[in-house]
Copies of this chain bind each other. A is one copy, B any other.
């Protein structure tokens, strides 16, 4: 039996005086980190957290957020890191759905509190992680008169965290991670990428997503160092890589592109940086080629996954990130299933399709999430016949490399965030002038894909692009909002089964472009 708390105790045992985290110039050792976590836990226990209680976190990456994440599980709770980019109603939904009793919010995001307070059905206490917004005592202050808490002993198959992810129906779902599940996923990930206790890990991917969370847990499990960055901008990243001597970084493609295209990059000292793993969205082959040329000392690897998969599914190793030689020609692949994972391409009745043919990418393995929080039917559906159904369509080449050709779930990936078309379509359709609408991803140099609506108006109604975009902003996180609108009078093309043929609508935007997912 193992737990996140035991991983932290080990880190303090084996590397107590070593640098655990560096955040905005502040360095904390593993001994100090353990102490902070125990104080957060003491504060949470004084607030009445009981075993298995959900405690939600709204915060940007920081050492303090890491203390909160581990403090929640140390106190016997279940951490619910919430996407800070969501709109207020979406945040309230996650808090209520998870049944969170306590909400921890950092300074930068306290502005959500007045917006959501009256919509919360289960939250009993809202506590600032730092500062004193509205004059409220923060976690550190609450802990100041308390003894550091003893670990409550949760671990193994107990739930450690819920990570909310979008759904085809538009309702977010909480993906369950157990203590041992989380740790095994980190073992698999660290082994595949080659991360060890000797590394300094850059954590700029937000910890409310599993990639950031996995990196944070990896730092603890390996007793390595974490360099935590709250907001991505290239000069900050370049400075932190040098200052912290970062060796490994997990980035989304839009970040890689930004680094590669920034004028400061050529002058920066990136000598310490050994490896960039990228994932969460496809990277164009052209972008990859630019990255390989711009950062010749860095080894790239690609991770394909999804939250339900723990998130690791496959990896394209660095030796396939080459432009010539026997390993060339795999840059558009999502790589090969990781050790501990197996992937099958299945048809609609979950029968394997012949090698080379397209079907749904389905996964089994050590690291698959046990399911969705309080959604046994959705869980059973996603995991029918023992396979996690990713909702992505793909095929294997004859060398066992996986290629993703489409997303069965009708999802757009913009700037590393997943946006379900159905969710945006629902909101657009609420506008009184809209008769029918389709939301698709179209190419965007910066974000990979851009959210584009094709709208048919009701007879006698008018509406401008700006009006529709303003309508979206009221209901949706900024990154989910429509960025361009096309008005259309003719009917949408339909399939034999009378479903709108989105692929046809997308085709004219993607002609002459790569869209490998």
Contact = CB atoms under 8 A, between A and B. Distances in A.
A190 to B, nearest CB: 6
Given A2-B342, A9-B342, A339-B222, A16 B400 contact: yes
A386 B343 CA distance: 36
- A196, A340, A396 — which one has the most chain B CB atoms within 10 A of its CB? A340
A16 B183 CA distance: 29
A336 B14 contact: yes
Nearest to A223: B339
Contacts of A191: 187, 190-191, 196
A365 interface: yes
A188 interface: yes
A15 B400 contact: yes
Contact of A339 (B10, B339, B365): B10
A315 to B, nearest CB: 10
Residue with the highest number of chain B CB atoms closer than 10 Å, among A15, A194, A342: A342
A190 B180 CA distance: 18
B184 A366 contact: yes
A194 to B, nearest CB: 7
A473 interface: no
Contacts of A16: 400
A225 B340 CA distance: 17
Given A2-B364, A364-B1, A366-B2, A336 B188 contact: no
Interface in A155-185: 180, 183-184
A188 to B, nearest CB: 6
Contact of A340 (B2, B365, B400): B2
Contact of A6 (B9, B187, B336, B342): B342
A86 interface: no
B364 A6 contact: yes
Nearest to A314: B14
A13 to B, nearest CB: 4
A198 B194 CA distance: 12
Given A364-B1, A365-B2, A386-B1, A187 B400 contact: no
Interface residues of A, number: 40
Q: Which of A6, A14, A317, A341 has the most CB of B within 10 A?
A: A14
Interface in A363-401: 364-366, 368, 386, 396, 400
A6 B194 CA distance: 23
A9 B364 CA distance: 12
Contacts of A10: 337, 339, 341-342
A340 B317 CA distance: 25
Contact of A184 (B1, B187, B386, B400): B187
Interface in A346-369: 364-366, 368
A340 B13 contact: no
A221 interface: yes
A434 interface: no
A470 to B, nearest CB: 48
A427 interface: no
Interface string A325-344: 00000000000110111110
Interface in A9-40: 9-10, 13-16
Nearest to A186: B339
A492 to B, nearest CB: 40
A485 interface: no
A116 interface: no
A14 B187 CA distance: 20
A6 B364 CA distance: 9
A517 interface: no
Interface string A296-319: 000000000000000000000101
B183 A221 contact: no
A239 to B, nearest CB: 28
A340 B221 CA distance: 7
Given A15-B400, A183-B340, 9 more contacts: A2-B364, A7-B340, A10-B337, A13-B342, A13-B396, A14-B400, A184-B184, A190-B339, A191-B191
20 contacts: A1-B365, A1-B386, A2-B364, A2-B366, A6-B342, A6-B364, A10-B342, A13-B336, A13-B337, A14-B337, A183-B340, A184-B184, A184-B187, A187-B339, A187-B340, A191-B191, A194-B194, A197-B339, A198-B319, A223-B339
> Which 6 A-B residue pairings sit nearest by Cβ, starting from the closest?
A14-B336, A13-B400, A14-B400, A191-B191, A187-B187, A2-B366
